[in-house]
Amino acid sequence: MSDNDGVGVGINGKDELPPPPKEDIAFHSLPWNLNLPDEHSYMHLTTTPDKGWTLEHYNPTTNDGAITNSLRHYSSTPLPLYPSTTSLNYGTTIWEGLACRRSPTSHKAFVFRPQMNYARFVNGAKAMCLPPPSYELFMRGLQLVLQHNAQLIPPAPEVDPTTGVPQGGAKLYIRPMLLGSGQQLGLHVSPQISLVFFVSPTGSYFQGKAMGGLKLHLERRRSRAARGGTGNVKCCGNYAVAMRPLLDAKENGFHDNLFLELETYHNPPPSSSSSRLHQAILQELSAANIFLVLKTGEIVTPSLRRGTILPGVTRDSVLTLTREFKDELKPIIVESITTAGMGSDNIEITVSERDVCVGDLLNAAEVFITGTAAEIVPVQSVATSETPVEELDGETEESFSVKFPHGESSPGPVTTKLLDMLREVLAETRSSEATKDWLCDVFASPEEFRS
Ligand SMILES: *Cc1c(COP(=O)(O)O)cnc(C)c1O
């Protein structure tokens, strides 16, 4: 295939529509994985740390540069790899995850809030001593790889005729990566840097399994992220440390781990009367953020202040939607709390980011998690493992178990409403001042796409 097949589209036109989805693919049942690699192309650009990313890679004025010749067939052109490749030895890789969907309203293909992913990518690049690409280069890379693979953007979701709510979470997932691809032995900045964008069409992350809500394991021995570390960066090491705990949790019948600020478990405030574990502060899952709907009417998620939590785009979007559409949500929150038998009539709705502790889980009517891959998924329970664990410093580990009033057989009312709202934004049937820039049209001109 030639490198520029199909890429002329959208460069001049304002209202170009994407080519139709490939016909013989059951997009909605694709697992959360790398799917159909024979069908896609990926982008690969290189530079050196001294040079960084320049107009030679992409010049936004002429709309040209090495980027226009950087697409390769995924299966037949793997990345070159030597034993001493820096990122292999030292983990200097950051990545992003974005979703592209067709709108059932305009039939355009949109990427969701790429500006936020770019900001996070730049932070991660700094943390891993990698030169960050310009905003223009990042956006043009996204746009080209999506235009090239547009036949893999799933069909627009069907809209429920009675509720008007779009159904289904299929998407073309895009993963930008920045990594040290040069060779060396010592712990130095890599002599070569690679910028890669690859894609995979997927269904939903927690397919089927989540119908009854997730069972989360409260992990109180191992940490995903410590203060002063890289928990707030999408770097590959964070997933390496989460892997062993994840497999252990799955072996014990859980779907994922809920991680703690372990220091707050080991060193609780001296004066408090409640248990050590109840005071421990919650972080997030292996790759998703967490929200609680409390019986007080507060919707709460752990604060980013400690620097140990990944600042999720979905997390931010849910916070924005709850603030923006608070009046519409209020009766739903009241319903959630009263049907959970926790009710009081005079509930004031608040949305907050603060330290959330294990004890707060006991006051939750609903709990859900958020992420690009997962969207919004209900949680049915949080518990420590039944299997005996070694004692730490001679102390017996406390156990904990809570099953939420909502989420066991179906998502709670607030979880359902927020997922509906998010999908309505994606389908262009809901918007507000705060959400108006959330959808970027892949087949618009490069200037428009990044504006
Ligand atoms: C990617 C990720 C999330 C979710 O972020 P989104 O931007 O919403 O996809 C949350 N936590 C971790 C650890 C992640 O890696």
Query: Which residues touch 381 (CB under 8 Å, ≥6 apart)?
Result: 213, 215, 216, 401, 402, 403, 404, 407, 408
3-state secondary structure of 48: coil
Residue in 95, 306, 369, 372 to alter for ligand 1 test, most ligand atoms within 8 A of Cβ: 372
Predicted local confidence at residue 207, as pLDDT = 58
Domains of the chain by start residue, with CATH: 27-203+435-450 (3.30.470.10), 209-411 (3.20.10.10)
Q: Which tens digit of pLDDT belongs to each residue from 360-397?
A: 999 999 999 999 988 999 999 999 997 655 555 666 77
- For residue 404, give both structure tokens: 């939420």
Whose C-alpha lies nearest to ligand 1, atom 1?
287
Alpha carbon of 58 to ligand 1 centroid (Å):
28
User: DSSP letters of 409-451?
Assistant: SS--HHHHHHHHHHHHHHTTS---GGGTTSEEETTS-HHHHH-
Q: Please give the span between the terminal C-alpha atoms of the chain, in angstroms, as a whole number.
A: 31
Predicted local confidence at residue 160, as pLDDT = 87
Cα dihedral sign, 259-261-262-266: negative
Q: Which tens digit of pLDDT belongs to each residue from 302-352?
A: 999 999 999 999 999 999 999 999 999 999 999 999 999 887 677 899 999
Pocket lining: 288 vs ligand 1, CB cutoff 6 Å: yes
Alpha carbon of 396 to ligand 1 centroid (Å):
33
Alpha carbon of 184 to ligand 1 centroid (Å):
31
Residue at token pair 């008007």:
164
pTM: 0.94
User: CA–CA separation, 439 vs 430, rounded Å?
Assistant: 12
Pocket lining: 284 vs ligand 1, CB cutoff 6 Å: yes
Pocket lining: 441 vs ligand 1, CB cutoff 6 Å: no
Alpha carbon of 312 to ligand 1 centroid (Å):
5
Q: How large is the angle between the packed helices 326-339 and 413-426, nearest 10 degrees?
A: 150
Residue 71: left (phi > 0), alpha (psi -120 to 50), or beta? beta
Cα dihedral sign, 228-193-58-8: negative
Pocket lining: 261 vs ligand 1, CB cutoff 6 Å: no
